Structure 1
Amino acid sequence: MLDDAIKGQLAAYLERITQPIELVATLDDREEAQQMRELLSEIAALSDKVTARFDGNAARRPSFRISRVGADMGVEFAAIPMGHEFTSLVLALLQAGGHPPKVEQAVIEQIQALEGEFVFETWMSLTCHNCPDVVQALNLMAVLNPRVRHVAIDGGLFQDEVEQRQIMAVPAIFLNGQPFGSGRMELPEILAKVDTGAAAREAKALDAKDAFDVLVVGGGPAGAAAAVYAARKGIRTGLLAERLGGQTMDTMGIENYPSVLETQGPKFAAALEAQVRSVDVDVMPHQRVAAVEPGNTIAVKLENGATLRAKSLIVATGARWRKVNVPGEAEYANKGVAYCPHCDGPLFKGKDVAVIGGGNSGVEAAIDLAGVVHHVTLIEFADQLKADAVLVKKLQSLPNVTIHVNAQTTEITGDGQKVNGLVYTDRASGESHRVALSGVFVQIGLVPNTEFLKGTVELSRYGEIMIDERCATSVPGIFAAGDATTVPYKQIVIAAGEGAKAALSAFDHLIRH
């Protein structure tokens, strides 16, 4: 299962284990069970503090549990955790073995103090780059608190359960048998949902903070660059964001950032966060802004009721996936309507799906899905595909792809529980057509996250923040950068440069006013 290089790296990690752990597997006759046996045997051979047993009696086969010897830890994988989940496996081994997690002591104490019984199930796919955050957070909770149990389940191994529970997007999280959440969630978000007093305590702490010289809203490339540049000027800098990394967390391959030959979005996002935290920035993740009130001191009101204050403000809130806004899209979100082909594609293995959008993202999604699903139908509103020629040529060469241009999606249909088709109109003939499908992937661009600024700063007709060459908005002291602004070409490198420019402009504003 593991090549020699991976074994060497894993052996070095396992040297950090201070307490013995055991891997207890429950197997069956499937090929995947034999692969699991091989994987666990190889891991056990790398450390004298790790043992593997194959006499488990878990409900799902194949699966395995990780526990400290003599303890009852509820960390379980109903999966062969390779791909994006290999890091989750390594962290679970280390944490079960006594290696301290990289979280604040206050968070550890909050987890340990949770009362009640929490049985979590996370449905994931090994190609999902958003799933590991959920898996790792819940695994840590299960290591630290015996009242928390967690099993990470590969939907591809348990298709019957996927069908039974109508799981059509990952990660899908269940708590005590009931839906708990979907999509990427980090540890603070999960704790906020199970610890009902956490939000009020957090709001009170935020409200008590002194005014910032520069407050950055947004944690993507623009926000991170702005925070780093501001902090290096020696001024009081804060950064709040709904999620650190921004859109890069949803990006698989990054191959055009100067000095970085190639990387993956989550890895790039982690590097952004590490750099921000390496300088003197007050980082406040998992926060949403409700409103901004200009003045000599700008008031930034958060959705949790807290108010932050700043002498200057940089808005770098980025953008989100644009929705097609047709009947059925909202009703069947996460029930066949998806926006991340890398995450949710494996759930549609052997089925028919559609991709809406003929730009680079849509064509790339169709190419990726064609290698997993039975058939892909691509729907493009314009009279030709807008993607790069090399991508179009590749798409046209695939035998299991049908392309409809000059086609307008008018409805996504379903049976009340999940998607079963898509209706489009031929814009040339006016004829309506229905395609029977199991899933629809929407890939039609982005919408700026600027709703909270309506009536505060000048916005374009597309909702983008109007800025000048110095990233200044229509309101003195408020600056903006990145994909939320009118700057053309929504690229990581451009967003980062604009963030740096906004910070320098904010600093210039402070010293002059």
Structure 2
Amino acid sequence: MAEVTQYDVVIIGAGPAGMTAATYASRAELKTVMVDQGIYGGQMNNTAEIENYPGYENIMGPDLAEKMYASSTQFGAEYSFGSVTGIDVLDNHDKVVHTDMGDFQAPVVIIATGSEHIHLGVPGEEDYQGKGVSYCAVCDAAFFKGESVSVVGGGDSAVEEGLYLANIVKDVTIFVRGDRLKAQPILQERAKKQENIRFVYNTSVTSIDGNEEAVQSVGLINNQTGEKSTFETAGVFIYIGLKPNTAHLTNLGITNEQGWIMADQKMATAIPGIFAAGDVLAKELRQITTAVGDGGLAGQAAYNYIASL
């Protein structure tokens, strides 16, 4: 029988949404724990400079994570490592969050598990992870100093990471599946002014190839002509979208067909006492600012729910 620890609020995830929810819940004198399978901060830890968060002209992602963590724990919220395997809803309003490190029981659960990068699903992608395939330029750009690298994608993340890489590597080629970029105009302008960034449109990566040690090239197909080619590259950085981290929560019936959690304006899901916040939600804009706003609402909603019992 797994050990069960009782709390008022269990927050799954310790990114900006989870940490803000912890600040609000613990400040309301609720016994609160954040459970995360990695280091607090979420995707902020993979972000070089953040320049659209109020109060800072720019700040390094890990630095902002540290500041948020200090704030989130100042009123007594706890932090625990653990990978969530499921949630059970009991008859007495309580929920049990099962993890590989033990179970947590509380009347309120706030799901703030965020999202992760979608993989291309092409031959070689999984084989070369850590050997040239990356989903984090901030983490891995330094390994490619003086080399030519590729970026796959045409949205904000692809262009932002391309810009970051361009300051470190020899040159960056960005492969875009369609005939135009989807990134914000300001990012497009910056990238197009960068002499060592070039864009290749209407092109998909079909394979990632190399020797036993590292990536050496990618296979390509022109989506208009069907022409196939090979492009030499030392690294492949993939940014083709996000998927929600809700694999162990689908049985709850609170997600849509794509796995994103459905919640109302007070962050409440269809199950009383289960709230959600941040990038895991079905919504338009996934940014640190919106995650923080969601977390504040969820933390306050937790207090109101417990007060109503």
Does 2:35 match 1:221?
Answer: no
Say if 1:238 and 1:367 are closer, same or farther in 2 by CA, change over 3 A.
closer
Task: Report the AA paired with residue 292 of structure 1.
Answer: I
| Counterpart position of 1:302 | 99
| Counterpart position of 2:123 | 327
TM-score normalized with structure 1 length: 0.57
Task: Report the AA paired with residue 456 of structure 1.
Answer: L
Deviations 1:70-101 (A, max 9, x none): xxxxxxxxxxxxxxxxxxxxxxxxxxxxxxxx
Does 2:36 match 1:237?
Answer: no
Of 394, 403, 411 in structure 1, the residue corresponding to residue 190 of structure 2 is: 394
TM alignment of 1:180-195, pairs within 5 A: none
Does 2:307 match 1:511?
Answer: yes
Say if 1:282 and 1:345 are closer, same or farther in 2 by CA, change over 3 A.
closer
Instruction: Check the 8 A contact 2:4/2:105 in 1, yes or no.
Output: no
| Counterpart position of 1:254 | 50
| Counterpart position of 2:69 | 273
| Counterpart position of 1:212 | 7
Instruction: Check the 8 A contact 1:319/1:449 in 2, yes or no.
Output: yes
| Counterpart position of 1:449 | 245
Q: State the identity as a percent.
A: 34
CA distance in 1 between partners of 2:195 and 2:44 (Å): 31
CA distance in 2 between partners of 1:235 and 1:344 (Å): 40
Instruction: Check the 8 A contact 1:457/1:465 in 2, yes or no.
Output: no
CA distance in 1 between partners of 2:61 and 2:144 (Å): 23
Say if 1:423 and 1:312 are closer, same or farther in 2 by CA, change over 3 A.
same
Instruction: Check the 8 A contact 1:470/1:502 in 2, yes or no.
Output: yes
Of 169, 182, 193 in structure 2, the residue corresponding to residue 373 of structure 1 is: 169
What residue ranges of structure 2 are gaps of 5+ in the alignment? Answer: none
Deviations 1:125-179 (A, max 9, x none): xxxxxxxxxxxxxxxxxxxxxxxxxxxxxxxxxxxxxxxxxxxxxxxxxxxxxxx
Task: Report the AA paired with residue 414 of structure 1.
Answer: G
Instruction: Check the 8 A contact 2:153/2:238 in 1, yes or no.
Output: yes
CA distance in 2 between partners of 1:264 and 1:397 (Å): 24
TM-score normalized with structure 2 length: 0.93
Task: Report the AA paired with residue 278 of structure 1.
Answer: Q
Deviations 1:203-236 (A, max 9, x none): 97xx253x21111111111101111111111222
More helix by share: 1
Task: Report the AA paired with residue 297 of structure 1.
Answer: D
SS at match of 2:67: helix
Whose radius of gyration is greater, 1 or 2?
A: 1
What displacement does 1:263 show?
1.2
SS at match of 2:14: coil
Instruction: Check the 8 A contact 1:218/1:318 in 2, yes or no.
Output: yes
SS at match of 1:507: helix
SS at match of 1:470: coil
CA distance in 2 between partners of 1:451 and 1:208 (Å): 22
Greater relative contact order (CA < 8 Å, ≥ 6 in sequence) = 2
What displacement does 1:400 show?
3.4
What residue ranges of structure 1 are gaps of 5+ in the alignment? Answer: 1-202
SS at match of 2:221: strand
What displacement does 1:439 show?
0.9
Deviations 1:234-278 (A, max 9, x none): 222222122211111111112222223321111110011111221
